[in-house]
Amino acid sequence: MIRKKQVTLNDIAARSGVAAMTVSRVVNGNGYVSEETREKVLAAVTEMNYRRNGLARSLKRQKTETVGLVLGDLSNPYSTELANAVRESLSAQGFNLFICISEHSGKEDIAAFEALVDHNVDGIIVATRSNRDGNERLDRIADSDLPIVVVGRDFPHKGVDYVSADNFTGGFEATQHLIDLGHRRIGFIGAAFEDRHSLKRLQGYLKALEKHDIAVDERLITGRSESAADVPGYSTEKIGYEGMKRLLSLPNRPTAAFARNDLTAFGAIAAIKEAGLSIPNDIAIVGFDDTPLASHTTPALTTVRQPMRLQGQIAAEMLLRRIRAVEDVRREDRILDCELIVRGSTVAAKL
């Protein structure tokens, strides 16, 4: 199909009898242009339905005024809030936001990074889980001085800022809360093999157990099996559901569990109910995030609230700071406090 040939500055220039540069000045509203010429040009612009070519413009100006956001786990309300906050902050400053999804693998991370770099975005905000291949590529991109900010985790590169909730302390407090209630067999739901090391919430859980001299039982730590990543539409809820089923099938099942996030907790809750057990009496549950639904489950979910919008705002600010910087920027990192929200899903352990 023969697409309509796009109208260029030169077409407008020819039509209105001025130089292309003058048209450019009118369109961009900079430089000196007489009122008379401006109107003439504007008329031609409207008549010919001209729209400037962003590619050419960006190529020449060496900037796109566009930022990329790489999200893992789109379905998590955390991502939604984050993306919205980022977008709002950026658009207030005249920047566009393009989102790329990378749900499962380092390969997808890399594909997303490359797509963004290829389009010469002015900066990238990364909110995927840490993984080797992805980190390696990100490192190379950061080396090239492209502004990068990482959200929800850290990233060891002098040119990369990060903002995150205090997942470690959050995980610690969630577990501490269960311990305080008298629980001793406490499960952790949602730790895939590959993120045992990077998962701060898990580390907080382990730390709390350690502090109270509770031995770690590996069978109580459960998560997605390797293959789940490949199943399209495999949801976080399902991970929680299956994880809890596994915990329930243990000879000596836990009396409480901490789920890596609310969605996982919802799945776990479903599994518990399905088994005919009661929450919180048979099993207490703590989630993480405080998503909108958390207060609406029965019983309402005890969870760790993290500031989602704030992380997005800060990430956007950090990135803009780098984009606009004239001289070298010192690395910045922000760890934001979480807050334990106690609701009905946790109660003192039966003795």
Secondary structure (3-state) at 26: helix
- Of the two residues 117 and 214, which places its CB atom closer to its own copies in the complex? 117
What amino acid occupies position 119? H
Binder among 3, 132, 330, 350 for its own copies (CB under 8 A): 3
The answer to the question of residue 144 lying near DNA (CB under 7 A) is: no
For DNA, the closer of residues 95 and 241 by Cβ is: 95
Token pair in block for residue 317: 């600010």
DSSP label of 299: S
Among 49, 62, 144, 227, binds DNA (CB under 7 A): 62
Span of 87-95, 148-156, 206-214, 336-344 interacting with its own copies by CB under 8 A: 87-95
- Applying CB under 8 A, among 10, 39, 119, 278 the residue interacting with its own copies is 119
CB of 221 to DNA, least distance (A): 48
Any contact of residue 28 with its own copies (CB under 8 A)? no
| Residue 152 DSSP code | S
Matching residue, tokens 């789940």 = 228
Which of 74-82, 176-184, 192-200, 336-344 is the region at the interface with its own copies (rule: CB under 8 A)? 74-82
Q: From the list its own copies, DNA, none, which binds 176 (C-beta under 5 to 8 Å, kind-based)?
A: none
Q: Report the alpha-carbon distance of residue 96 to residue 88 in Å, rounded.
A: 10
- Nearest-angstrom CA–CA distance, 42 and 46: 6
- The CA–CA distances, whole Å, from 18 to 10, 14, 110, 309, 323 equal 9, 7, 46, 48, 35
66 binds DNA, rule: CB under 7 A: no
With tokens 């796009």, the residue in question is 6
Q: Compute the distance between CA of residue 142 and CA of residue 139 in angstroms, rounded to an integer.
A: 5
Which H or E run includes 138? helix 132-143
Query: Minimal distance in Å, beta carbon 22 to DNA?
Result: 4
Indicate the residue among 42 and 300 with the shorter CB distance to its own copies.
Answer: 300
d(CA 331, CA 310): 19
Confirm or reject binding of residue 19 to DNA (CB under 7 A): yes
**Residue selected from 14, 74, 216, 231 as contacting its own copies according to rule CB under 8 A:** 74
Query: Tell me, what amino acid is at 226?
Result: E
Q: What's the distance, CA 178 to chain centroid?
A: 28
Name residue 201's amino acid.
R
If you search the block for the tokens 């243990």, which residue do you land on? 250
Residue 77 binds its own copies (CB under 8 A): yes
Interface residues toward its own copies, by CB under 8 A: 1, 3-4, 49, 51, 53-56, 58-59, 64, 66, 74-75, 77, 79-81, 83-85, 87-88, 91, 96-101, 103, 111, 115, 117-120, 140, 144-145, 232-233, 235, 237-238, 241, 266-267, 269-270, 273, 292-293, 295-296, 298, 308-309, 322, 325-329
